[in-house]
């Protein structure tokens, strides 16, 4: 089925913000996190930027592949904001096309291509040298829709308790759970 943009989704151009302050991909509370900043696009798509820092190296002066996969995963995960669902990565297939140096900004684009029941199919690319630069990494993913209980049941108690006691976090979680 064609993906449907949620009627309450942030408007195109709007910054999406972090879904959790402690998130390695988007949270402000992780000193070496990716701090990915995503912006809503048209339809069920978004753009995001991630600048590679020295803490993200694999080989000298180059981004670690797992970090780049995390950036793709986070961009794809942020599509949740546009669908109005909570979904987690079930499958993530990555292509590493060219090395990404420290200091480079990865310009990411992610889009949902199809939805089938709880399964959300999506794709992402990461370009360097500018938003129209060459594609350095790309990914195809399958996300699976879950309820908030997924995190409550599986997360470590300490962090779950803190999240449940944080009104901002509870509001964010609810914002995802407003399926039509
Ligand atoms: C107040 C409380 C505070 C909480 C607030 C939290 C708010 C948070 C908000 C937003 C969070 C967003 C976070 C984004 C972060 C970035 C994204 C990540 O990195 S996520 C982390 C990495 N991923 C995992 O940890 C998943 C681990 N895996 C699982 O938990 C399960 O395997 C899960 C949920 C993915 C599926 O398990 P099942 O038991 O629910 O469902 P089954 O029946 O197995 O799968 C459903 C369908 O999907 C297919 N499927 C599942 N995995 C597949 C795979 N690997 N390949 C192909 N198909 C797969 C199955 O074949 C099935 O398909 P058929 O319906 O039968 O057609």
pLDDT digits (tens, 9 = 90+) for 2-45: 999 999 999 999 999 999 999 999 999 999 999 999 999 999 99
Q: Report pLDDT for 172.
A: 82
164 lines ligand 1 (CB under 6 A): yes
118 lines ligand 1 (CB under 6 A): yes
Question: How far apart (Å, rounded) are the C-alpha atoms in residues 18 and 102?
Answer: 23
Question: How far apart (Å, rounded) are the C-alpha atoms in residues 21 and 12?
Answer: 23
Is 171 a residue whose pLDDT tops 90?
no
Structure-token match 């546009």, residue found: 82
Question: Token pair for residue 90?
Answer: 């079930």
Q: Report pLDDT for 177.
A: 67
Q: Which among 20, 144, 165, 162 is positioned nearest to 83, based on CA atoms?
A: 144
Ligand 1 pocket mutation, candidates 76, 88, 163, criterion most atoms within 8 A of CB: 88
142 lines ligand 1 (CB under 6 A): yes
Question: Token pair for residue 156?
Answer: 């470590």
- Residue 180's pLDDT band, with cuts at 50, 70 and 90, is very low
Which atom of ligand 1 lies at the shortest distance from residue 78's CA?
14
24 lines ligand 1 (CB under 6 A): no
- ipTM reported for the complex, 2 dp: 0.97
Q: Which among 118, 116, 114, 117 is positioned nearest to 140, based on CA atoms?
A: 114
Q: Which among 136, 167, 159, 114 is positioned nearest to 63, based on CA atoms?
A: 136
Å from CA of 53 to ligand 1 middle: 29
E strand intervals along 52-171: 87-96, 105-116, 119-127, 135-145
Q: CB neighbours (10 Å) of residue 150? A: 14
Q: Report pLDDT for 59.
A: 98
88 lines ligand 1 (CB under 6 A): yes
Q: Report pLDDT for 27.
A: 96
Å from CA of 146 to ligand 1 middle: 7
**What are the domain boundaries of the chain?**
37-175
CATH number assigned to the domain covering 37-175: 3.10.129.10
Å from CA of 142 to ligand 1 middle: 8
Q: Which helix (H) or strand (E) holds 50?
A: strand 45-51
Average pLDDT, integer, range 74-102:
97
Å from CA of 86 to ligand 1 middle: 9
pTM as predicted: 0.96
- What are the distances in angstroms from CA 46 to CA 12, 102, 150? 8, 24, 25
């Amino acid at each position: 089925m064609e993906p449907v943009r949620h009627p309450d989704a942030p408007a195109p151009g709007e910054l999406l913000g972090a879904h959790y302050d402690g998130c390695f991909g988007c949270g402000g509370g992780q000193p070496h996190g990716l701090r990915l900043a995503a912006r809503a696009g048209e339809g069920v798509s978004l753009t995001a930027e991630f600048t590679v820092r020295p803490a993200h190296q694999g080989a000298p002066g180059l981004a670690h592949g797992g970090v780049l996969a995390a950036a793709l995963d986070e961009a794809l995960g942020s599509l949740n904001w546009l669908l109005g669902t909570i979904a987690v990565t079930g499958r993530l297939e990555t292509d590493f096309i060219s090395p990404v140096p420290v200091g480079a900004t990865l310009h990411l684009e992610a889009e949902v291509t199809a939805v089938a029941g709880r399964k959300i199919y999506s794709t992402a690319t990461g370009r360097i040298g500018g938003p129209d630069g060459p594609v350095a990494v790309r990914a195809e993913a399958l996300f699976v829709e879950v309820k908030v209980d997924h995190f409550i049941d599986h997360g470590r108690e300490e962090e779950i308790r803190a999240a449940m006691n944080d009104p901002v976090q509870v509001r964010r979680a609810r914002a995802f759970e407003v399926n039509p």
